[in-house]
Each structure stands twice: as structure tokens, then as C-alpha cells.
Chain A
């Protein structure tokens, strides 16, 4: 029987059974003996100095084991580099409990460790802290004059600064037949995965630790913990098999990991530290960003001038940057451009990548500006995009490795019924509601990074593949298993993918939509390497018919190897290993991207979103009644899980455009809606008809799989399409996200 190819097949999530039965264990759910529980105390001032921490009442409570703060912390290194993780922006990483300085509101300042969770939590409220407060600044809009260029660092490699100006923007803009200028305001957002950040540290003795951590990078946390606490890498094992959502929040080791490990090492005990929901607002966030655009076009709709500037907040200690303004000229080949990105350091924690960082911010400004131009020009919004379609990336003067955005427009429009649209705003009504439709382009980088994987096959013919990578709900386990099955030519049930463990081969942090491409390519490479070894063993077998053939002459299929020309001439993997005295055959591969080749191309996934909104004319209530997103992301390994990724991105787009925002009281310097009751993410009742199309796209350049990743691209185009649809419905262009219904009254 021939085994069907797994790549391209809608395989159900392999961990599905564990997740629907409650058997999937997350970092805070490992039952270890003698576990102590930690509860964190946070600063209630925004800037200044701790004068005194009075722990007496807390210590007096029965069951309190220890209280840690900067006063009694472990001796720590003072070199910044020792705290730098894989995702650290240029600057000085935050060092928990380092000294008495308060850098932001909510900064962790003490940890209570007790016999029970409840005791630790109560004791934490009994700690009295006195401060010397200093003036602080948290409001971006009040400090735009302080904006400066970001510092460069390793992060700039993945997040390039804006390309330099082309042509003469000011002249071209002034000469343009039509112009649109807009200001776009984005507030702060927090990732708020549903699982709270938590770490369980198992103290193994002899300087050895096993750490269950909520993270997007087991290797990243391993290196961080080893560096900070002066341990051997091999003695720190980070496990993260199930991650209850992360969306970027787990790209950097969070402070509960540091605190939990410190307490465990000091007390030589097993310790768990879990953040509460309010504490989930005390580390990275999507930064406040204020953008300005000025686009000019000829009367026939050719965009000739693009000016896009962004000013974003960062912390006082790190220069966190995003790619916000680089996209417009990748999408639209205007000859005159002026792109600028600046930062304002404020008294907040460092911002952090949050699903489609920068892209979802910048595309709103770009696509709303294009939309506005289309109404001025009286050209259909999609037609304007097609008129300005970039066959080549003029911003970098490179070809695209592949680009099926045009098909996204056409197929998306077809499915949505875009052609039936009335062009004038405020022309369609249903009962009390105005109906509008809008669309947007989307683009997201394809990033290539090195990654390692190991593959082995045993006497039962079972393939095991390993990588330290996590699965944050993206479907990584399933997708890697599919890739491994096809790479070796084996039934998917005979494949085990092991992951989420820093003892396994090094993987980059899971983010940027690159995991499938990066780790998948490593898995494929490891299996290819394993094939070679299997082939060699097969050649050595008695009476082997493979003696005289080359690797190219054989096919690996159905758990066996056969001659390309003669299927009946085969040997099973089991037979080969039996001949190898039953010993496993193993292979390992460090897959390093061909940077020289990749550099010749602009590599990006694309999308087009089409959205219908209904707006209650009297009350302003907006509903996204239906939406279609068409995606060109190269080879789709698993259409089912990939569709879910896009749907998730679309719902994030609804949330970004209409729902979520962290509210800061700038008088107090403090986020105030730090709970899921007042930080509004969409509920089921907010989500209506959503549809996804994957457009065929072949790409031989980007990686071995031709796969571009789908984690962010669904979000990139969704939020601007909603804003554009609201304009079409109401005639009001609201450039501030989220668009609350009261802005439409």
C-alpha cells in the first residue's frame, strides 16, 4: 500500500487528544515533591528608589519560608551581556532584584516563598515598601520632540532600519495630482496569553536544575539561566512541552523564571512561581506608536511619493524597535520615498514583539492611506493596489523570491463578492445599520535562521526526530511530524517528534512566523542525512542489489527503499536495521541557510483581506459581519492548522481594530485595566463569518520546504481592512486604534 504524502494534508493536531481531555501538562502543572510556591511583589511607583522593605508581618506568617529582594538576592554578574537573551534589543537588559532602583510601575521587587500558594499570596500583601519617588514620563504624545534614532545592535539583522530616501519626496508630493496625509495613533497592547507565566524549578542537586517554563525558546532560557546564575549549560534543562499561548510574550525569558530559579538555588528546594493576571501587564508589550503618512499619486492612480514616519516608545534601558515603515515601498513601487522610524524612551518596561510586530502597526497607516487615495481618485481600492503592483521590490532593488499577491487580490475578491460593491461610502443599509466593505494588502518577512535537528530510526522502523523548538499552539508538533514522515518516506504513525526541551538540538526562539521554515528545514535536512546513512547500511547488506547504485537512483517510500526503476526491488528500513544488529541509525544536521543566495531576493508572504462591517448608525456599534483573507505563503504544510493560524490572525485583527488596548494613567504612570474584564479581547459573540484562502505559490529560494509561515500574515491585513470598511460604511475615517463605537457617534 502506498503511503500518501503528508505535506499538504490536513492532519489533525497530534496532541489533540491530550488537549481535549485535560491531560496536556503546562509548565505550572508538574507535580514535584516538596514544592514551594512563590508570589511576586511589584513596585507601586513608576520611578525612584526603594528606601525600605518591611517584611516583618510577612515573615511572621506561618508557612513563609523566605523572602527575596535586592537586599538578599544571589550574587549576580554585573556585565549586561550575561543577561542578554536571543531577543535582547540594544541596551541594558532588565535585571530583576539588581538594586534599589525602580524603572517602571509593576517592576518585581520581592518574592515571597511559602509552603502553599495561598500563604505566599497573603504574605505578599503584608510586605510594606517605602519609596523615594521621582518624576516620570510615560506619555508618548507629550514627548514626540524627544524622538531619536534607534541604536543599532544584533536585532537590526532581523529588524532592518528604514531604507534611505529615494528620489525627491517633497517635490514629488507637491507635484502630485492627488495627495493624502494621515496621522495614525496606536495605543499599548499586551499579549495576554490565557496561560499565566509560570516556572516550576526542580532542584536536582549538584548545581543541576530541571525547569518547566512557559517560553517560546527553551534554548534561549537555558543560556540565560546558565549565564546569569553561573551554571554549566548542560546542568540547566528547560522543558516547555505545552505552552498556553504566547504571541511573542515568551520570546524573552520573563522575570518569574529568574525569580523561581534564584529561589530554588538559594533554598535548594523545588519552587514554582506563577504570575497573576495583573503581573502579565508588567513585562513586554506592543508599544504606543504614532505614525504619519503622506502619499501622492498621479491622476491615473500611480503612487509617486511615499512618506511614512513612525515614532514609538521604548524603555529607558533598551532600544526596542519594530519594522513599521519599511513595508509601503515593498508593496507599492513609488520612486520618491522618505521613510523614518524613531524612538522615545519612557519610564516603562521595554516593549516586546507581539504578533505581527511593526507590520500590523505600519500596514494600518499604509493601507488606510491607500484607501483614502482610492476615494479621492475615484478608483476601486483593489484596482488602485493592482495599478501599483510591485513586480520587484524597488525599496531594496531586488526581485521577490516569489509573490502571488495578485492572486490573493483576485481570488479573495471573487470569494468575497467584491465586484458587487457600491463605490460610494454610506450607500448600503440594512435596517438600522450602515454596511461597508473594505480591503487591505498584507505583507510579512520570511526570515531564515540556522537550526539543528536529530533523526534516528530503530529496529521497529520508528523514526524519532528531535528539536528544542516549542509548540505554542501553532501546530509545530504536527507539522514537523508531517515533514519528517515525507522526508524519510515513512508512515506518519511511525514518526515521533520530540520537542520543547533544551537538551534537544538547538532551535531559535519560536516567533516571526519562521518556525515551520527554519526548524522544518532542519528536520528535513536531518532526515536527508539519515537517508544517506540508511543507504550506506543497505549497500553493505549481503546480496544487496543497491551495491552498484547511487543515492539518486533510489526512492525512500512506504518505510522502505527501492530502486527508482524497479519498485519490486526494495528493502525495508526494518530489514536494514536488523542487518545493523538491530542498532539504531542516527543522523544530525545543523541546517544553515544559504545567506548569499537569500540576500539576492526580497522574501515575503503576502495576503489580501476583504471585510464587511455593519455599523449601527445611531449607536455606533461595529460588527465585522464577514471577512475573507487570501494568503500566499508558499507551500502550506498542513492546511487545517495553517487555516487556524490565519483565522487566529484575523481575530487578532478584529481585536486590534476594535477591541484591545492597555490604558495608562499618565498621572500615575501605571496601566489601569490590567485584567481580562477591562482589557477587552473578543468574545465568541464578536466573531462572525470568517474565511481563508491559500493561494498556490511556489518558492524554491526561501528554504528547503518552500514554506513561508502563517503566524502573522493573517493579522497584518485584517485590521486596516476593518478601518477601511468602517470608512466605506460611515464616511468617517478613524485613524486611532482601537476604534471604539463612541468614536462613530
Chain B
């Protein structure tokens, strides 16, 4: 887990009130000094330089900032980095296995399940965690369980097609 070489220290504030926070992101430990009011999203994007996680509203109303934290999909905009000290976090950058895409990523490409691509990281992280939760079986249930991820381009049917295809293959 703790790979020294890939450890990354970002000292973002000279202020002595900054708190030391360790985030285990995509199997790399990120050592941060952040002020308590820095959201997990801003910590990941600005301090961790992982900009794959998107900020679409910053108020928990679009799902673009979805990450998988300690096995659960959450909105990184509605939590603070200090609250997640020590957590295991998977962002979109950690979904593929090196150069090998996750099958859901491949399904997204094949189904043209994105246009502008801005909601895509959140959709993919959300869908992977949703399938782990195991609470959605039918297409209607998947649509309901994925409704926390908005898509403004209108790729909705392609997104659900991609998820259903991956889900069905996974169950085979």
C-alpha cells in the first residue's frame, strides 16, 4: 500500500493550523497539509493533482465528484479532507489496471456513453460501487440507483446500456 516512491507530499499552506492528512488514493499514499475547511474534492483536485474527479456543482447536486471511499461511493464535495484522514479512496484514475481499461470503461467507449466527458468519471465510479453494493438488478433499479449522477449532454441511455452490459457480463 505505502509505496515510498510514489508518495507525494503537498504542502499547501504555510499556516500552522494546517492539519496533516493521509489519503490512500489509488493505492498511493498522499500526505497533505490541509486547512480543515478544504473539501475532499478540492484536496484531491488541487492538492493531489488528480483532476479526473470533477467539480460540477460543489453542492452535492450533480454526482460529478463521486469517488469510492472505504468501499462506498460518496460525494467528495460534501465532505472535508480532514474527515477522511486514513481513508482508502479510489478515483477515476485508479479504476483501470495500468494501461488495461476496466471493462466498464471499455463499455463506456463502445456504447458512446459520454459526450463532453465531464460527468463520466463520476458515472463510472458510481456504477462500479453500485454493482458492488448489489442492490440494483433490473434496468429500472439501475436507473434509480444511478440517478445521483447527472448527465447534461443526454448520454443517459448509452450510460445505462454500458452499465447493463457490464453487469450482465459480470454475472455470467
Question: Is residue B38 within 8 Å, beta carbon to beta carbon, of the partner chain?
Answer: yes
Q: Output the residue of B35, B114, B142, B156 with the most chain A CB within 10 A.
A: B156
Question: Is residue B56 within 8 Å, beta carbon to beta carbon, of the partner chain?
Answer: yes
Binary contact track B99-125/A, C-beta < 8 Å → 1, others 0:
001000100111010111111110010
Binary contact track A563-599/B, C-beta < 8 Å → 1, others 0:
0000000000000000000000000000000000000
Of B58, B124, B143, B152, which one neighbours A685 at CB under 8 angstroms?
B143
Are the CB atoms of A25 and B154 closer together than 8 Å? no
For residue B119, which residues in chain A have a CB less than 8 angstroms away from its CB?
Answer: 194
> Which residue of chain B lies nearest to A715 when distances are taken between CB atoms in the complex?
B154
Question: Is residue B29 within 8 Å, beta carbon to beta carbon, of the partner chain?
Answer: no
Of B50, B105, B146, B150, which one neighbours A681 at CB under 8 angstroms?
B150
Interface size class of A (residues with CB under 8 A): 35 or more
A residues 1-47 touching B (CB-CB < 8 Å) = 12-13, 15-26, 28-29, 31
With A245-B116, A473-B115 already in contact, the answer to whether A194 and B50 are too (CB < 8 A) is no
Question: Is residue A561 within 8 Å, beta carbon to beta carbon, of the partner chain?
Answer: no
Are the CB atoms of B117 and A473 closer together than 8 Å? yes
Are the CB atoms of A648 and B56 closer together than 8 Å? no
For residue A15, which residues in chain B have a CB less than 8 angstroms away from its CB?
Answer: 117
Q: Output the residue of B53, B55, B117 with the most chain A CB within 10 A.
A: B117
B1-9, B68-76, B88-96 - the one binding chain A: B88-96
Of A19, A29, A677, A687, which one neighbours B45 at CB under 8 angstroms?
A29
B residues 31-64 touching A (CB-CB < 8 Å) = 35, 37-38, 42, 45-46, 49-62, 64
With A22-B91, A29-B45 already in contact, the answer to whether A472 and B154 are too (CB < 8 A) is no
Bound-state Cα–Cα, A276 to B42, Å: 13
B50 to nearest A CB, angstroms?
7
Bound-state Cα–Cα, A652 to B156, Å: 11
Are the CB atoms of B112 and A687 closer together than 8 Å? no
Question: Is residue B19 within 8 Å, beta carbon to beta carbon, of the partner chain?
Answer: no
Bound-state Cα–Cα, A682 to B151, Å: 8
Q: What is the count of residue pairs linking A and B with beta-carbon distances less than 8 angstroms?
A: 175
Are the CB atoms of B150 and A676 closer together than 8 Å? yes
Are the CB atoms of A473 and B52 closer together than 8 Å? no
A715 to nearest B CB, angstroms?
9
Are the CB atoms of A195 and B56 closer together than 8 Å? yes
Are the CB atoms of B116 and A643 closer together than 8 Å? no
Question: Is residue B149 within 8 Å, beta carbon to beta carbon, of the partner chain?
Answer: yes
Are the CB atoms of A62 and B15 closer together than 8 Å? yes
For residue A683, which residues in chain B have a CB less than 8 angstroms away from its CB?
Answer: 143, 147-148, 150
For the residues of B in contact with A, the DSSP-based class is loop
For residue B83, which residues in chain A have a CB less than 8 angstroms away from its CB?
Answer: none
For residue A122, which residues in chain B have a CB less than 8 angstroms away from its CB?
Answer: 37
For residue A686, which residues in chain B have a CB less than 8 angstroms away from its CB?
Answer: 156
> Which residue of chain B lies nearest to A472 when distances are taken between CB atoms in the complex?
B116
Q: Output the residue of A246, A247, A650, A676 with the most chain B CB within 10 A.
A: A676
> Which residue of chain A lies nearest to B38 when distances are taken between CB atoms in the complex?
A118
Question: Is residue B11 within 8 Å, beta carbon to beta carbon, of the partner chain?
Answer: no
Question: Is residue B153 within 8 Å, beta carbon to beta carbon, of the partner chain?
Answer: yes
A residues 457-477 touching B (CB-CB < 8 Å) = 472-475
Are the CB atoms of A194 and B150 closer together than 8 Å? yes
> Which residue of chain A lies nearest to B110 when distances are taken between CB atoms in the complex?
A12
Of A24, A62, A648, A677, which one neighbours B117 at CB under 8 angstroms?
A24
With A21-B96, A62-B15 already in contact, the answer to whether A193 and B152 are too (CB < 8 A) is yes
Question: Is residue A227 within 8 Å, beta carbon to beta carbon, of the partner chain?
Answer: no
Are the CB atoms of A651 and B154 closer together than 8 Å? yes
Bound-state Cα–Cα, A623 to B109, Å: 28
Bound-state Cα–Cα, A475 to B153, Å: 12
Bound-state Cα–Cα, A116 to B117, Å: 27
Are the CB atoms of B154 and A648 closer together than 8 Å? yes
> Which residue of chain A lies nearest to B125 when distances are taken between CB atoms in the complex?
A22
Are the CB atoms of B46 and A245 closer together than 8 Å? no
Question: Is residue A242 within 8 Å, beta carbon to beta carbon, of the partner chain?
Answer: yes
Binary contact track B130-172/A, C-beta < 8 Å → 1, others 0:
0000000000101110111111111111111000000000000
For residue A19, which residues in chain B have a CB less than 8 angstroms away from its CB?
Answer: 114, 117, 120
> Which residue of chain A lies nearest to B47 when distances are taken between CB atoms in the complex?
A116
For residue A194, which residues in chain B have a CB less than 8 angstroms away from its CB?
Answer: 54, 56, 62, 64, 116, 118-119, 150-152
For residue A641, which residues in chain B have a CB less than 8 angstroms away from its CB?
Answer: 112
Bound-state Cα–Cα, A12 to B110, Å: 6
For residue A290, which residues in chain B have a CB less than 8 angstroms away from its CB?
Answer: none
Q: Output the residue of B37, B46, B60 with the most chain A CB within 10 A.
A: B46
A511 to nearest B CB, angstroms?
14
Are the CB atoms of A685 and B147 closer together than 8 Å? yes
> Which residue of chain B lies nearest to A644 when distances are taken between CB atoms in the complex?
B112
Are the CB atoms of B155 and A647 closer together than 8 Å? yes
Are the CB atoms of A277 and B58 closer together than 8 Å? yes
With A21-B92, A647-B157, A684-B146 already in contact, the answer to whether A474 and B108 are too (CB < 8 A) is no
Are the CB atoms of B50 and A22 closer together than 8 Å? yes
Are the CB atoms of B61 and A677 closer together than 8 Å? yes
Bound-state Cα–Cα, A687 to B143, Å: 8
Are the CB atoms of B118 and A17 closer together than 8 Å? no
For residue A31, which residues in chain B have a CB less than 8 angstroms away from its CB?
Answer: 49
Are the CB atoms of A195 and B154 closer together than 8 Å? no
Of B51, B58, B146, B152, which one neighbours A245 at CB under 8 angstroms?
B152
Of B57, B109, B116, B124, which one neighbours A473 at CB under 8 angstroms?
B116
Binary contact track A621-647/B, C-beta < 8 Å → 1, others 0:
000000000000000000011011101
For residue A245, which residues in chain B have a CB less than 8 angstroms away from its CB?
Answer: 115-116, 118, 152-153
For residue A276, which residues in chain B have a CB less than 8 angstroms away from its CB?
Answer: 58
Question: Is residue A442 within 8 Å, beta carbon to beta carbon, of the partner chain?
Answer: no
B28 to nearest A CB, angstroms?
15
> Which residue of chain B lies nearest to A247 when distances are taken between CB atoms in the complex?
B152
Bound-state Cα–Cα, A207 to B10, Å: 31
Are the CB atoms of A22 and B92 closer together than 8 Å? yes
Bound-state Cα–Cα, A244 to B62, Å: 13
- The 10 A-B pairs with the shortest beta carbon distances in the complex, nearest first, are A22-B52, A473-B116, A244-B118, A648-B154, A651-B154, A19-B117, A473-B115, A22-B92, A29-B51, A683-B147
Q: With A13-B109, A676-B56, A683-B147 given, name 8 new contacts (CB 8 A).
A: A17-B101, A22-B91, A116-B12, A242-B117, A247-B152, A473-B116, A641-B112, A648-B155
Provide 16 A-B residue pairs closer than 8 Å at the C-beta atoms, listed in order of the A residue.
A20-B92, A22-B121, A31-B49, A194-B62, A277-B57, A277-B58, A473-B115, A647-B154, A675-B57, A676-B57, A676-B62, A677-B59, A681-B152, A682-B154, A684-B143, A684-B159
* Residues of B near any A CB (own CB < 8 A): 12-13, 15, 35, 37-38, 42, 45-46, 49-62, 64, 91-93, 95-96, 101, 105, 108-110, 112, 114-121, 124, 140, 142-144, 146-160
